[in-house]
Chain A
Amino acid sequence: MKTRVLFMLALSICLVTILTLFAWGCAPKSTTLAPADFYKSKTVDWTSAGAPGGNVDQVTRIMQPVLAKQLGTTVTVTSRQGGGGLEGHNHVWFAEADGTHLNLWDSFALVTELAFEPGSAKYAPAKFSYIIGFPQTDRFMFFVAKDSPYTTIEKLKSGKNLKMGGTSPTGGYSMATYSVASLLGLDAKVLVGLKGAADIALRIAQGEIAGAVMAASQGPIYADKLKPIFGLGSKRSPLYPDVPALSELAKFQDPVQNLALKLGDTAFSPLRAVFTGPGVPQERIDYLREIFSKKVIPEVRTDLQKAFSGGQTTVDLMKLEDFISGANVTRDTLAYWNEREQLKKIFDKMIADYRM
């Protein structure tokens, strides 16, 4: 009797084990699911690595409901600010490589953060899987007060002990301002630590600083107090078609200067990239790319323009054909990554020469 019971028990256990293994083997693996079905069964976690309510956070939240609708699933935006974005980037780097962890950031900043703060960043920017990129809508321009005596490059060059402004020591506005001072050989120092475009605009208007670099879209907001005198790089801003670009006003022979000028066209009008971690299956990357480029971006394009351009809608700053595919974003980021040592040397020298 006892033997019979034990036998039945052992048989039951074997049968259950076999059935379980069979069921598990038959169950569709996530890797075998088509991307559309895969995403329908998952929750997408979109990291917002910027401050709540900041530009990156806003853009992420604008796109989130549209992405959720197109994927047919829940997309949650999780704020992971900290370390200037590093918390968010590190999170996505280490997250499961299944394509359900997204991030949105400036692709050039991903490189500079690593170049200047290597200890805290755990990722390699070129190895992220880039889904789509879109350009900052406008150029960086050099602004002065409306009643400033420094209304031309020649007058700037003749100025003595000029004070200019920037944000964080290695932030975009600061880098661009050092770059201007370096390219033009100004007798100038850049005061860093200002809290963004509004603070910069206020200081220029108050006369505490002679000028600074800001995004062109900030100009109309402070139009009664400030005016741009040139744009960085080689192209004019669509918002200020009458204001020349720096390359039209001055010639640069030095390769280092030319690299800094090139940054005015690329890094200082950088790409915002939507990306996920390394190792995500290519079919999911392609699927997300198609969803973003054909469904999400067209629906939110006008709103993105308003968010990026300080409300400007008089000029079409975000043409659909300007959106660059993820492959190009990867290529461009890799190019910066490959040049990072040279970039770092250039910037270190600029910072040493021009930071107050």
Chain B
Amino acid sequence: MIDAFLQGTAAVFQPTVLTAMLAGTVIGLVVGIIPAVGSLEAMAILIPFVFRLPPEVGLGFLVALASVVFTSGSITTILVGIPGTATNVATLIDGFPMNQKGEGARAIGAALTASMFGGVVAVAMAMIMIPVVVPLVMAFRTPEMVVVILMGLMFIAVVTEGSRIKGIISGLLGIILAMVGTNALTGTLRFTYGTVFLREGIGLIPLVLGAWGVASLLDLTVTGQTSASSTLLKTKLSGVMQGAKDVLLHKWMALRSAVIGYIIGVIPGVGAPLATFMAYGQAKQISKNPEQFGHGCVEGVIAPETANNAKEAGALLTTMVFGIPGSADMAIMMGAFFLLGVIPGPQMVKEHLPLAFTLLIGIAFANIVGGVLCFLSVNPLMKVARISVRILFPLVSVVIIAAAFTQQMSIYSAVAVFTFGILGFLMKMFGYSRTALTLGFVLGGLFEHYLYQALKLHGPLFFLTPISLIMIAIMVFLLIQPYINSLKGALGRLHTRGG
């Protein structure tokens, strides 16, 4: 194992591998900045160019690309209020408000540092866990998956800003929207109205672009603001470094978020956005200032960004060691493995363990280099925040429409984006949580999927497994914790008055 680690590390510093990883990092950063174009599309297009290369070069390039997409995606998310990727939505909840308060540089500094931290820490965890990832994946069967997703749905109540009832209604709306399309379990068409476009369901990208991107633009148009108040704008390096220091100040919270992101990444089929929302939710739960979340709290940026980058190492590990793709990106990566003549799974651990280490170290390398490159680009990028909405609206609208259209080469995607844009705008106006809507949408379909299978395979008492019961206990504790804290506070005050 040690030998393989040393060989793998040495391979990273070969000029060809290093160059490939650097190129992948740069391309990944560029891809991440563009809304709705994610690593999935980029890898699909670039695979034909790399599959004749040596495995460590070709795979190193792809791994580096996939690792940093979310890093630069956070910049678009914070500055313009449009998620760079679907998994950046949780960052938007507090990142964009920070920008509007003139703390955009601080938010970006926190996001970039958190991304680097999450990526590097997760790689360390992955290397230690190579021997145990198989038992971990084997332990998570359908009952456990149901409970994990239920935990995610529980966070709807946690992440909701404002009225809890409105948050639940928003979450339920998201779940209903997730039902549109073909039910994979029964083949039934639901709410498709005879259209081919809706057979695949409503895409996450149009919903996110619309409910967040278009809605923010509409809001700015109505209020006539720039995306950040220019009088409060701090573009000095001190703002960025303040954000970096914030990560150190909240290092334990960041570490917890990295662990959450990594474990969610290891479990196949759960969905990447769950990692960021769960991390956000736990940060809010344990924060001393939970009421600040949703209004520009730096912890609300650190937690999801850490989890976002941490999950990639977990997903890659599951893919390499088990042969099961840990995420949608990794499903494409598996194809690349095959084309490059490497068969993922136990065979890879036996025959290509140094390569596994090379790729894991590649994630850490890409995260560090990507973070540094983004740090160097912050100052010029901050100027975007000063652009008047009269100029920003048409420019960003074109980008959004193009991004939506390229998803399925269908004009209906663009129609969907603007429909959700109006919905998101109205939700914002009337105090309904778009966060809960997004979380419900992401998890609703997954919950139905696994619940159906769990009931069919194990019957109504499917949740009576050790791991499920432990997770249910954690869930209950997290739910009642605020009330326990309030009770403690009240008892304490009573005691003080009595004393």
Contacts and interface: CB of A to CB of B under 8 A. Distances in A.
Interface in B443-460: 449, 452-453, 456-457
Contacts of B339: 58, 62, 303, 306-307, 311
Interface of B: 40-41, 43-45, 47-48, 51, 137-138, 141-142, 182, 184-187, 194, 196-197, 199-200, 268-269, 322-325, 331-332, 334-335, 337-339, 341-347, 406, 408-410, 449, 452-453, 456-457
A53 interface: yes
A52 B44 contact: yes
Contacts of B268: 198-199, 202
Contacts of A83: 196-197, 199-200
Given A53-B44, A82-B408, A87-B196, A205 B138 contact: yes
A198 B187 contact: no
Nearest to A77: B45
Given A55-B335, A86-B199, A169-B186, 9 more contacts: A53-B332, A53-B335, A58-B44, A84-B182, A192-B185, A198-B331, A198-B334, A202-B322, A205-B138
Contacts of B184: 168, 192-193, 195
Contact of A221 (B347, B453, B456): B347
A64 B48 CA distance: 9
6 contacts: A192-B187, A198-B325, A202-B137, A208-B457, A306-B341, A311-B338
A61 B45 contact: yes
Contact of B341 (A163, A222, A313): A313
Contacts of A239: none
A311 B332 contact: no
A163 B457 contact: yes
A62 B51 contact: yes
Interface in A61-81: 61-62, 64-65, 78-81
A260 to B, nearest CB: 20
A220 interface: yes
Nearest to A218: B323
Q: Which has the most chain B C-beta neighbours within 10 Å: A62, A201, A202?
A: A202
Interface size class of A (residues with CB under 8 A): 35 or more
Contacts of B410: 82, 87
A287 to B, nearest CB: 24
B44 A206 contact: no
Contacts of B343: 220-221, 310-312
A53 B408 contact: no
Contacts of A78: 409
A172 to B, nearest CB: 14
A258 interface: no
A116 B188 CA distance: 11
Interface of A: 52-55, 57-58, 61-62, 64-65, 78-84, 86-87, 90, 116, 119-120, 163, 168-170, 191-193, 195, 198-199, 201-203, 205-206, 208-209, 220-224, 303, 306-307, 309-313, 356
A4 B335 CA distance: 76
A82 B338 contact: no
Given A198-B325, A202-B324, A86 B196 contact: yes
B341 A198 contact: no
Contacts of A206: 138, 141
B137 A79 contact: no
B456 A191 contact: yes
B44 A61 contact: yes
B331 A53 contact: yes
B345 A221 contact: yes
Contacts of B345: 221-224
A208 B142 contact: yes
A306 B269 contact: no
Nearest to A120: B196
Contacts of B347: 220-221, 223
A198 B47 contact: no
Nearest to B203: A82
A307 B182 contact: no
Nearest to B328: A53
A80 B324 contact: no
A335 to B, nearest CB: 25
Contact of B338 (A193, A310, A356): A310
A306 B41 CA distance: 21
Given A83-B200, A221-B343, A193 B453 contact: yes
B135 to A, nearest CB: 11
Contacts of A209: 457
Nearest to A66: B48
A308 to B, nearest CB: 9
Contact of B187 (A81, A169, A312, A356): A169
Contacts of B199: 82-84, 86, 120
Q: Which has the most chain B C-beta neighbours within 10 Å: A195, A199, A311?
A: A311
A125 to B, nearest CB: 16
A168 B196 contact: no
Contacts of B346: 223-224
Given A80-B409, A206-B138, A208-B142, A303 B200 contact: no
Contacts of B335: 53-55, 58, 307
Contacts of B200: 81-84
B138 A195 contact: no
A208 B408 contact: no
Contacts of A79: 41, 44, 406, 408-409
